[in-house]
Amino acid sequence: MTLNPKLLLVDDDRRLAESMADWLRDQQFSVDQAHSLATGRRALQEHSYDLLLLDLRLEDGDGFELISEAKRRQPDCAILVLTGYATPNTAIEAVKAGAFDLLTKPLVDEELSHALERALAQRNIEAENEKLRAQLDSRFGLEHILSHDYRMLKIFDVIDSVADARASVLITGENGTGKSMIARAVHKRSNRRNNPFVEVACGALPDNLLESELFGHVIGAFTGATTNKVGKFKQADGGTIFLDEIGTASQAFQVKLLRVLQELQFEPLGGTVTETIDTRVILATNENLTKAVASGEFRQDLFYRVNVINIELPALRERSGDVPLLVDHFLREVCEAAGRDVQGFDRDAMSVLQSYSWPGNVRELENIVERAVLLARDSVLTRHDLPPHLLSSSTQPRAAGTGLESSSAIGNDPGHGQTLREALEEPERRIILESLRSHSWNRAATADTLGVNRTTLYKKMKRLGLDDPRLQFMGAEGH
- Asked if the model's pLDDT at residue 395 lies above 50, the reply is no
State the Cα–Cα distance between residues 219 and 208, nearest whole angstrom.
Answer: 15
Share of the chain above pLDDT 90, in %: 40
Same domain, 326 and 298: no
CATH number at residue 455: 1.10.10
Which of 253, 278, 312 terminates a domain? The answer is 312
Which of 312, 337, 370 terminates a domain? The answer is 312
Average pLDDT taken over every residue of the chain = 83
- 15 domain-assigned: yes
State the Cα–Cα distance between residues 338 and 377, nearest whole angstrom.
Answer: 14
State the Cα–Cα distance between residues 174 and 21, nearest whole angstrom.
Answer: 54
Q: Is the dihedral of CA 416, 417, 423, 425 positive or negative?
A: negative
CATH number at residue 28: 3.40.50.2300
Residues contacting residue 74 through CB under 8 Å, at least 6 positions apart: 44, 48, 49, 52
- Asked if the model's pLDDT at residue 420 lies above 80, the reply is no
Instruction: Give the pLDDT of residue 198.
Output: 95
Q: Report the 10 Å Cβ neighbour count for 13.
A: 17
- 156 domain-assigned: yes
Same domain, 264 and 323: no
Same domain, 126 and 39: yes
Peptide bond into 106 cis (omega under 30): yes
Instruction: Give the pLDDT of residue 364.
Output: 93
Residues paired with 82 in a beta bridge: 55, 103
Which of 135, 161, 195 terminates a domain? The answer is 135
Same domain, 204 and 278: yes
Same domain, 368 and 450: no
Same domain, 222 and 161: yes
Instruction: Give the pLDDT of residue 455.
Output: 77
Yes or no: say if 32 and 7 are a contact pair by the CB < 8 Å rule.
Answer: yes
Give 402's pLDDT tier (boundaries 50, 70, 90).
Answer: very low
Instruction: Give the pLDDT of residue 418.
Output: 56
- Asked if the model's pLDDT at residue 143 lies above 60, the reply is no
- 227 domain-assigned: yes
- 363 domain-assigned: yes
- 415 domain-assigned: no
Same domain, 386 and 433: no
Give 396's pLDDT tier (boundaries 50, 70, 90).
Answer: very low
Buried b / exposed e over 201-235, threshold 16 CB at 10 Å, is: ebeebeeeebbbbbbbbbeebeeeeeeebebbbbe
Same domain, 340 and 291: no
pLDDT digits (tens, 9 = 90+) for 11-47: 988 888 899 899 999 888 999 999 999 999 999 999 9
- Asked if the model's pLDDT at residue 99 lies above 90, the reply is no
Same domain, 186 and 302: yes
Same domain, 334 and 278: no
Instruction: Give the pLDDT of residue 148.
Output: 78
Same domain, 260 and 112: no
- 402 domain-assigned: no
pLDDT digits (tens, 9 = 90+) for 309-356: 999 999 999 988 889 889 998 999 999 999 999 999 998 899 899 889
CATH number at residue 363: 1.10.8.60
Q: Look up the domain containing 347 and give its range.
A: 317-392
Same domain, 131 and 155: no
- Asked if the model's pLDDT at residue 1 lies above 80, the reply is no
- 1 domain-assigned: no
Number of domains in the chain: 4
Q: By C-alpha distance, which of 51, 160, 125, 27 is closest to 321?
A: 125
- Where is mean pLDDT largest: 42-46, 122-126, 466-470? 42-46
- Asked if the model's pLDDT at residue 117 lies above 50, the reply is yes
CATH number at residue 216: 3.40.50.300
- 321 domain-assigned: yes
Label the pairing between strands 6-10 and 51-55. parallel
